[in-house]
Structure 1
Amino acid sequence: MSPSIGSWARNTADGRFAEPHDERELQEVLHVLADRGAKLNVDLQLSRAKLNAIGEVHQGSMSVGVGAGVVLRDLDAKLTSHGLSLGPLTPAAMSLSLAAFLEGPYAGVRSIPGGRLEPLTASLRALMSDGRKLETSPAPRSAAGPDLNALVLGAHGRLALVTHAVVRCVPYPERDVRVACFSFPDASAFVDAMKHAIAEGFWPWRVHVEPGVRAEIRWAASVGSVERDRELLTRCVLAAGGRGEEELEHHAPVTTEIEATWDAVRASLEKGNRLQLFRLSLASVVARGEVEGLRLDEPTPWNPLGARLLSFDTRGVLGGAVR
């Protein structure tokens, strides 16, 4: 490619980068690539770090408009001063930009009370390979027609590149994160207790499990729910045959985060492994430690339907890697 392809381009030791300052410049990047038969992440790398605007925080709707390059940890820190938070995201997720969290293996979802997963974003804006804008609606799914988020969330930038999103926030805990420790007769008892508590509305932010199935459970509590949440958790633990424990001394496993089923968690604990669990839902968790599941540090394979969707990018402009 020619040395002068735009004011947004710069040369580094790792190759040539495009670093657009706004959506218009990103459109220009895509047009240049298409005109020259070049490919993103092959002939030119992309950084959206300068798409870093954070809009006004809306207290009523608990939402905020955010640029694709904003790092989630920085956003969460800003929200704290408004009495809001992003909720219990994993440590690795917090280190990502908004674009990487939405487009990458985390697919932009977080756990919410009741054990479900929901998108972090209420709506988003993205650019397709030809520079056309893709905008999703915050309207209820029943009124919004096809869910265009599927073209972006977890798609690794293969179909569209996020530029901006409206992020859903949650109230910042009125009390510090609470901690309770329990021991369980076996791995199945631990899994049963956690799933029952989650189904009844308990919202764990992090669980550390030591060999011998001894668990430290952390959750965020409001002033009015501290004792209610503790009683709910204790009831589910006792019903599964568990009992209270003294404070645990533990060493957190520093490994890649893995999306795992509860069956995989059970199997890992039965082998005596140490695990840290995040994003706990009724269907799955994100874990650190030795457990079978989907690694969240590498692109996920596409199914045949996803592969067919690549026909949207007739010139192969988009390469999929997120920065």
Structure 2
Amino acid sequence: MTAAQPLPPDSTALDALAAAIMVLQQELPADRLILEAHERRTYECDGLSAYRQTPGAVALPHTREELLTCLRVCREHQVPIVPRGAGTGLSGGALPSATGLLLSLARLNRILEIDADNRCAVVQPGVRNLAISEAAAPQGLYYAPDPSSQIACSIGGNVAENAGGVHCLKYGLTVHNVLGLEMVTLDGEIIRLGGKTLDTAGPDLLALMIGSEGMLGIVTEVTVRLLPRAERTQVLLASFDEVEAAGRAVAGIIAAGLIPAGLEMMDNAAIRAAEDFVHAGYPVDAAAILLCELDGTNAEVSEDIMVVRRKLLELGATEVRTARDAQEQALFWAGRKAAFPAAGRISPDYYCMDGTIPRHQLGTVLERINALSREHGLGVCNVFHAGDGNLHPLILYDANQPGQLETAEAFGQQILELCVEVGGTVTGEHGVGVEKLDGMCVQFAPLELEQFHRLRQAFDPLGLLNPGKAVPTLARCAEFGRQHVHGGQLPHPDLPRL
């Protein structure tokens, strides 16, 4: 479903929502519900603004008890629930339901503990990513995953999508930096997974929850790992006359036995857009640049800089610059982190993709993306986490021009299929949401999708938590034409057909 073609609300579902709202009005403080149409529109989309739907109602609980009330009432009236963090997601994971309750966790925003001895923090899901590092800074600690939206995105949303960032190459994604969760199920059961200890008994449900996009339960508390600040960090900027050479250099650095804290790549279109916006000092004539951050002790960094510089020049870099001071280092990163809004200055709209490929395929995939760009007549800015092969092509289009959104979507789908073709995945850190459902049909076989659905049913047998997201139905995949359906019949008719 896209914003241009929303499904008409079902009258029975609307009646159920109305009944639930009446109960919630009696059991929650008045300011916890948003019911006016013009106020609900604020929540009609996340960062993937091509998909829009005004929610039937919005709840903003301030406590876990109020959240449990929302879950109980919705369960009793069988009203869908769509959890939402800060709304910075880029896959439509928080796209509301017209007959459901959008459950905002923004008011659950307290930092409960900074435990310097155990190098961890306990926070509520509405706490901003950057706020954790700011609170831990006096102890010389920080939280490593740093999405480009870290100034605004919430840790609960990061957990839902398994967010990464420019430093995920060395320090890992959210799943590698979360020690424990408190979550509540649709039935109101409070479950604690993991904690401050190195290991806990039982199956690893903690890893299962991270990246589950709100389909299995609602996270109410997160225990994250904190790391000590490195003695020294240093950023190098390398310019290349060929995109393929930059791709080879990425693989070459890793092959040399080095794991940089960050290794990012931008093509010429992204370089020019970011430079015009941030004035980071990027070489605007370069076909591509690499930003490589090294950290560690002073001696380690000094040695690694020499190795990386030599390797970059051997592999085709035309220039290698080292940031002169902390200010220039921050400016280099500011240009990279502002690449998305910078693209918004040169195009009325852009469609941000998120696929992951093996590093050695970077040059080949970028070449094919450029060929698809010419075929579709839409420009592309390529900016991505090169070290771990996580691509973020920004497809430039104008939604006011008839057919351009549909062309951009088709182009994006081809990019995802290309990622799978070369041995990658349809998402690296943005999640599946509603955007990549067809891509999931390409990547997974029917039996695998069946297991995903059964897992959802084990946690949410009524199918009320974030329905229609992340896992496509077999019926959808059959219609999409990428799955083999035996004899024209779908197996297991008891599975949901959203």
Cα shift at 1:159: 1.0
CA offset digits 1:10-47 (Å, max 9, x no partner): 13332422222222222222111122222214431101
Letter in 2 for 1:305: Q
One-letter identity of the residue aligned with 2:57: R
**In 2, Cα distance between equivalents of 1:101 and 1:114:** 18
Gaps of 5+ in 2: 1-18, 41-55, 83-98, 270-285, 323-331, 344-349, 372-379, 396-411, 417-425, 441-448, 470-498
| One-letter amino acid of the counterpart of residue 451, structure 2 | L
Change in Cα spacing, 1:88 to 1:130, as seen in structure 2 (3 Å) is: closer
Cα contact 2:353–2:393 (8 A) shared by 1: yes
Question: Structure 1: where are the runs of 5+ without partners?
Answer: none
Hey, what's the Cα distance between the residues in 1 that align with 2:291 and 2:23? Answer: 55
Structure with the higher fraction of residues in strand conformation: 1
1:219 corresponds in structure 2 to 293
Task: Tell me the CA shift for residue 68 of structure 1.
Answer: 0.7
CA-to-aligned-CA distance 1:47-77 (integer Å, 9 cap, x gap)? 1112111123222332100101112133333
Aligned with residue 228 of structure 1, among 273, 278, 303: 303
Q: Which residue of 1 aligns with 2:382?
A: 275
Out of 242-251 and 71-80, give the one that drifted further.
242-251
Contact 2:114 2:135 in 1 (8 A): no
Q: Do the aligned partners of 1:156 and 1:320 also contact (CA within 8 Å) in 2?
A: no
Does structure 1 conserve the Cα–Cα contact (< 8 Å) formed by 2:235 and 2:292? yes
Of stretches 161-170 and 190-199 in structure 1, the one that deviates more from structure 2 is 190-199
- Aligned CA distance change for structure 1 residues 67 and 286 (closer, same or farther; 3 Å): farther
Change in CA separation of 1:19 and 1:123 when aligned onto 2, cut-off 3 Å: same
Q: For the structure 1 residues 134 and 96, does the alpha-carbon distance in structure 2 shift closer, same or farther, using more than 3 Å as the test?
A: same
The question of whether the paired residues in 1 share the 8 Å contact of 2:268 and 2:288 is answered with: yes
Match status 1:308 vs 2:404: no
For the residues of structure 2 that align with 1:39 and 1:112, how far apart are their CA atoms? 34
Ranked by relative contact order (alpha carbons within 8 Å, sequence separation 6 or more), the top structure is: 1
Question: Taking structure 1 as reference, are residues 278 and 320 closer, same or farther at Cα in structure 2, changes over 3 Å only?
Answer: farther
**Residue 262 of structure 2 corresponds to residue 200 of structure 1:** no
Judge conservation of contact 2:170–2:262 (CA < 8 Å) in 1.
Answer: no
Aligned CA RMSD, in angstroms, stands at: 3.5
Aligned pair partner of 1:7 in 24, 28, 41: 28
Residue in 2 that maps onto 1:258? 354
Change (3 A) 1:95 1:278: farther
Give the counterpart letter for 1:287 in structure 2: H
**Contact 1:158–1:320, Cα closer than 8 Å, also in 2:** yes
In the alignment, the residues of structure 2 paired with residue 173 and residue 210 of structure 1 have an alpha-carbon distance, to the nearest angstrom, of: 32
Tell me the amino acid that sits aligned with residue 214 of structure 1: A
1:62-81 mapped onto 2 (5 Å cutoff): 62-81=119-138
Q: How many Å separate the matches in 2 of 1:25 and 1:94?
A: 27
The residue aligned with 2:465 is 318
Equivalent in 392, 398, 421 of residue 287 of structure 1: 392
Q: Which protein has the bigger helix share?
A: 2
Q: C-alpha separation between the residues in 2 aligned to 1:121 and 1:100?
A: 13
2:357 corresponds to 1:210: no
The one-letter amino acid of 2:71's match is L
Deviations along 1:162-186, whole A, 9 cap, x unmatched?
Answer: 1111111233354465233242655
Counterpart code for 2:62: H
- Contact 1:19/1:48 (8 A) holds in 2: yes
Shift of 1:216: 3.6
The residue type equivalent to 2:121 in the other structure is V
Which of 57, 60, 85 is matched with 1:19 structurally?
Answer: 60
1:39 aligned to 80, 84, 97, which one? Answer: 80
Among all aligned residue pairs of Structure 1 and Structure 2, give the percentage whose two residues are the same amino acid.
19
Who is 1:83 aligned against?
140
Range with bigger deviation, 130-139 or 161-170? 130-139
Q: Does 1:130 align with 2:187?
A: yes
Separation (CA, whole Å) in 2 of partners of 1:90 and 1:66: 18
Structure 1 residue 113 displacement after superposition = 5.8
Amino acid at match of 1:49: A
Distance in 1, Cα, partners of 2:263 & 2:113: 27
Larger Rg: 2
Q: TM-score scaled by structure 2?
A: 0.55
**Deviations 1:195-226 (Å, cap 9, x if unpaired)?**
34245222215433437543141415345133
**1:86 Cα shift?**
2.3
Residue 3 of structure 2: aligned partner? none
Of residues 116-125 and 150-159 in structure 1, the stretch that sits farther from structure 2 once superposed is 116-125
Question: Structure 1 288/174 Cα, relative in aligned 2: closer, same or farther at 3 Å?
Answer: farther
